[in-house]
Structure 1
Amino acid sequence: MNTRFSLKTLSALALAGTIGFAQAGAIDALKKFNSDADGLSGSFSQTVKNKKKTQTASGSFKIQRPGLFRWEYTTPYKQVIVGDGKTIWLYDVDLKQVTKSNQNQTIGDSPAAILSNKTALDASYSLKEDGSAGGVDYVLATPKKNNAGYKYIRIGFKGDVLNSMQLKDSFGNETAISFNNINTKPGLARSTFTFTPPKGVDVLSR
């Protein structure tokens, strides 16, 4: 398993940007937030498991609609991922490498598309209530297309606050994400979502 950040994880996190205000009757609240929300910020920790190893990481994220996001991994390695509406920039600090890719082509019908397209949630996923455990209520999002990359995304809410996500991709990798310090009115500046490659780094295009 790749021990660096993957764009699939970015897609998973970006879905979180559309669901930070769900509560009892989670599907209706999720759809309302998807329609109304214009920004989100917070911190996260994640664990990715497959048959061979378990990887943990943590960091922070900022989202501004339409189509802007910034993800920063701080442990165990430093990476910055910026979506400026046209290009996704992935900066690996340790490797001194920047990878740039077309944003629309990269996110496709993934959960990240929900961030920049308010109709993508209903267009790409089937939703159903998925029970409660430990005071957390869950919604199950199942992709309508077989080539979506994920078998399911399970979204958890504690009260009216986004609590967690559980994902399983088409390769059998399982990702668990916990969220903290969620702010649904972060008042983010447009400059938050600009990126200029630092001097001396390699810049690759996909």
Structure 2
Amino acid sequence: MKNLSRTLLLGGCMAMVGLLSLSADASSLASLKTFLFEVKSAKAHFKQIVLDKKMSTVQETSGTMLFSRPGKFRWVYEKPYEQLIVGDGAKLWMYDVDLKQVTVKQMDSALGSSPAALLAGNNEIEKHFDLKDLGKRGTMEWLEATPRDKESTFESLRMGFSGTGLEVMELRDHFGQTTVIRFSGLERNPKLAPGAFKFVPPKGVDVIGD
């Protein structure tokens, strides 16, 4: 079950950058483009639920995340088990505490056409994604991002914006699973210690990758 979080980390690890205050009458597409230029850092709590094809709950996790543009993030899974995911701008580190294992990858190759690249890249979002404003549904404005890279790990990403910011992300993969991430406790543009985005593998753990 832990592997689900690792598989989906690129669908969520940068989601926090969308947690900025938005104009209540702004379209989702306009809001996304605006925050890419305005938001420099963010901090939030998250709850993540993975649903299967029948929309039954497969996994529930929660934790906190930090973000500093461009390309630095810290994603901490606290419950029901501990995992740490850190992007330092050059490498992506994934630490499974229980397994005592660290996986490391180059950031460019690890992110690719992922939601992380959409939200934390160089603002050339329409170069890598087809964006569609889905309009208002219920109390939120919805945006859909579809990767142009057919080898992407996900089919589509939907983001639900309210007047206070990004509230929900829905990531759909090629296996019919849906990951729903809900955010709370937003801190917009906080001052974050540079050390928050550095990772040194603990002694005694296995290190796999680049």
1:13 aligns with 2:12: yes
For 1:13, the aligned partner's letter is G
C-alpha RMSD of the superposition: 1.9
Deviations 1:118-137 (A, max 9, x none): 23422111222213333122
What TM-score results when the alignment is normalised by the length of structure 2? 0.89
Q: Give the counterpart of 1:30 among 26, 29, 32.
A: 32
**8 Å CA contact 2:49, 2:57 repeated in 1:** no
| Alpha-carbon shift at residue 111 of structure 1 (Å) | 1.6
SS of the residue aligned with 2:189?
Answer: coil
What is the correspondence of 1:72-83 to structure 2 with a 5 Å cutoff? 72-83=76-87
Alpha-carbon separation, structure 2, partners of 1:114 and 1:83: 15
What is the correspondence of 1:114-129 to structure 2 with a 5 Å cutoff? 114-129=118-133
| Alpha-carbon shift at residue 115 of structure 1 (Å) | 4.1
SS of the residue aligned with 1:105?
Answer: helix
For 2:10, the aligned partner's letter is S
**8 Å CA contact 1:151, 1:168 repeated in 2:** yes
Alpha-carbon separation, structure 1, partners of 2:88 and 2:14: 17
Where in structure 2 are there 5+ consecutive unaligned residues? Answer: none
1:202 aligns with 2:206: yes
Q: Give the counterpart of 1:155 among 148, 155, 159.
A: 159
**8 Å CA contact 1:37, 1:184 repeated in 2:** yes
Q: Give the counterpart of 2:97 among 93, 98, 105.
A: 93
| Alpha-carbon shift at residue 152 of structure 1 (Å) | 1.2
Alpha-carbon separation, structure 2, partners of 1:119 and 1:110: 14
What TM-score results when the alignment is normalised by the length of structure 1? 0.91
Where in structure 1 are there 5+ consecutive unaligned residues? Answer: none
SS of the residue aligned with 2:31?
Answer: helix
Alpha-carbon separation, structure 2, partners of 1:50 and 1:68: 30
Q: Percent identity?
A: 38
Change (3 A) 1:134 1:115: closer
Alpha-carbon separation, structure 2, partners of 1:171 and 1:25: 30
What is the correspondence of 1:172-191 to structure 2 with a 5 Å cutoff? 172-191=176-195
- Aligned partner of 1:134 in structure 2 is 138
Alpha-carbon separation, structure 1, partners of 2:119 and 2:163: 22
Q: How many correspondences in the alignment?
A: 205
Change (3 A) 1:7 1:189: same
